[in-house]
Amino acid sequence: MIVLGLTGSIGMGKSTVSAMFRAEGVPVFEADAAVHELYSGAAAPLIEEAFPGTVRDGVVDRKALSRAVFGKTDALRRLEAIVHPLVREAEARFIAKAQVDGHALAVLDIPLLLEGVDADRCDVVAVVSAPADVQRARVLARHGMTAETFEAILARQMPDEEKRAKADIVIDTGTSLEDTRKAVQEIIGQFSATPDNAKEG
């Protein structure tokens, strides 16, 4: 089974492309969704212990947690040390299941895949990308988004150009949704044709 890591900067169309893989029957693990799940489950008591007052009725209050770590590198690192191993466990269970189910391809949708340290757990890395003006227009069209917030988020992410350089595959989302869907189908076709080369571990 091939594990494809899917990433991209804000507004580049990662969620849309992720949904396209899923619609084609490819199992997709969403890191963000896993974090949301953990925050109303296994991670909550650990987070309350590390950041008192950020959990209400057994559920992490993301606004309160965000305030507790915002702009504080040490606190964010402590939070990551709690959350990331749990996400990796959920991810490992997802991969094991996809393999047992006989899939040729599984997708890990991970916003910070290339900013993190271990993209090497993916056999291939695909980056969704569109011209900067398209990205900007998409993000600014979102409810509650300001140019300042957009710039601040961009500044914290690895530049698109660097992501593209690190990618094995660039999925162009600057064109029509239909063209992007074709690109997704081509990727699936390419990896489904590959003989079983399951990775160890």
Among 40, 66, 190, 194, binds ligand COD (CB under 6 A): 66
**189 in a labelled binding site:** no
| Subset of 136-175 contacting ligand COD (CB under 6 A) | 153, 156
Rounded to whole angstroms, the Cα distance separating 31 from 91 reads 8
Q: Does 43 bind ligand COD (CB under 6 A)?
A: no
d(CA 39, CA 33): 10
13 binds ligand ATP (CB under 6 A): yes
| Residue 56 within binding range of ligand COD, rule CB under 6 A | no
Return the range that interacts with ligand ATP (CB under 6 A); candidates 33-41, 45-53, 79-87, 176-184: 176-184
- Among candidate residues 94, 106, 108, the one with its CA nearest the CA of residue 27: 106
Among the listed residues 11, 43, 51, 126, the single contact to ligand ATP using CB under 6 A: 11
Tokens at 84, concatenated: 């990331």
- Of 156, 147, 162, the residue nearest 69 (C-alpha): 156
Q: Which of 50, 138, 150, 170 binds ligand ATP (CB under 6 A)?
A: 138
Q: State the amino acid at position 15 in one-letter form.
A: S
Q: Quick check: 77 and 70 in contact, CB under 8 A? A: no
Contacting range for ligand ATP; rule: CB under 6 A; set: 6-14, 98-106, 117-125, 162-170: 6-14
Determine, following the binding rule CB under 6 A, whether residue 28 of this chain makes contact with ligand COD.
Answer: no
Q: Which stretch binds ligand COD (CB under 6 A): 65-73, 91-99, 126-134, 191-199?
A: 65-73
Distance CA 165, CA 99 (A): 29
Neighbours of 117 (CB within 10 A): 6
Type of residue found at 140 = L
User: Among residues 60, 56, 154, which one has the least CA distance to residue 69?
Assistant: 60
State the binding site for ATP. Answer: 11-16
- Interacting residues toward ligand COD by CB under 6 A: 31-32, 35, 62, 65-66, 69, 76, 79-80, 83, 87, 111-112, 153, 156
Judged by the rule CB under 6 A, the positions of this chain that interact with ligand ATP are 8, 10-17, 138, 173, 175-177, 180
